[in-house]
Structure 1
């Protein structure tokens, strides 16, 4: 029974994230604020949007989003304002840029490079690096062995 109660509380906790004092009276503004909040990452809760997070900073960001909307900013301006303050990390879906592409490609690239280096090292280590004796060396060695 206690487990069931905790399960219900856990499931419903996301519904309590946006507190009644944060909700805007203008339905259009509230819809915009919710849409923006669902695309912003909570800086405390990894990979959770600020709309469903209970963290204090998420509440502050939700209020900031609503304040910017009330001031007349467009969705893009609100996102740009928050990104300028907190960096691109705050976006759940970051913009496609050279830095992000480099970040995503560098991991597999280094893994491939390391595998290639290991393969080449193992291939050359197994080969015998001794050369065949020339005829002069063979006769000289035979003379030494016969003595």
Structure 2
């Protein structure tokens, strides 16, 4: 992770990595989100690089209803989507740092009390090791199995 910086980027700057990592066998349009213009997008960069090695997009989005969807749906929640790390750089702490940055941004910049995502089942254990937990039923996007995951933020009163 040494030498990698994280900064806010445009939605357009996330697209190449989103596409190549998450859905390479689909057209680029498959990774575009209608809400991209309202999101907060972040990239992890090596020094002097112009393209990110990891990207994540964060949106204010209510927690979906589920039989076990506490916290209360009345609290303000963020949702991250299209989180991708170049496979050459996975396992080096870059994705963990970028995810933590998204958590921090959800609290600081978006005033959210929880964050959630649709996680590929193949990555669910990775998210659990970073403080998230599964909720709701397993579902599919195409032939890929997903589960919803969330993390609540502890806020301290002054």
TM-score range normalised by the length of the shorter chain = under 0.3
Using the size of structure 2 for normalisation, the TM-score is: 0.21
Structure ranking higher on relative contact order (CA contacts 8 Å, 6+ apart): 2
Question: Going by fraction, where is helix more abundant, 1 or 2?
Answer: 1
Q: When the two structures are superposed, what TM-score results if normalisation uses the length of structure 1? A: 0.22
**Greater share of strand residues, 1 or 2?**
2
